[in-house]
Structure 1
């Protein structure tokens, strides 16, 4: 095989790869346009159906509030469990008991 033939073969491969890259670029452009159309359709749907938008946002807020409440309850339960283990430690247990007594005294005062 002569150097010219090898050079022509390389050029043919490069041209084929270039054509493949062009086709891929065209597909990517179509996908980008499609995604833009979907976003535009979503925006139009939100403005034409305000009840649906309000309902969706209400449910999202409800889910966030419920998640926050459950998460806080779990964290406080774990914290309470950990604190109860410290009652048996002499210095820390006494300190925690003093804090709890202080809180209880304010809870029962008018």
Structure 2
């Protein structure tokens, strides 16, 4: 075997340390990504469908509640504008509010 100079040995030790440090960083990043949990989830397609179904229901419910709150605030603001008796705008907004109320009942 060929003899290695102390300078080369120090350089190899440095590179080995760098490699060890980068390997630990990569292992930590993979752990943060929860790659093993994701692979386990992909191995069970029914569980994956269940999780996606529940998340879809939650998103749909959130959208429905958010839209209901936003539209009720908007209707309230329109009623306030109508009672302010602004010329031109008041009549237009009153007609919109009337149409919405007809469809609600």
TM over 0.5: yes
Show structure 1 runs of 5+ residues with no match.
1-18
* Distance apart, 1:56 and its partner CA: 0.6
The structure whose residues are more often helix, as a share, is 1
Unpaired runs of 5+ residues, structure 2, are 1-13
Superposition pairs of residues 1-110 of structure 1, within 5 angstroms: 26-36=20-30, 38-39=34-35, 41-87=36-82, 88-91=84-87, 92-101=89-98, 103=99
State whether residues 78 and 97 of structure 2, in contact with CA within 8 Å, keep that contact through their aligned partners in structure 1: no
| Larger gyration radius, structure 1 or structure 2 | 1
Match of 1:11 in 2: none
TM-score by length of 1: 0.58
Aligned residue-pair number: 84
The CA deviation string for residues 35-73 of structure 1, in whole angstroms up to 9 with x for no partner, is 43641x234312321121111101110110001001101
Q: Which has the higher contact order (CA 8 A, sep 6+)?
A: 2
Residues in 2 aligned to 1:74 and 1:25: alpha-carbon distance in whole angstroms? 55
Q: State the distance in 1 between where 2:19 and 2:81 align.
A: 64
TM-score scaled by length of structure 2: 0.61
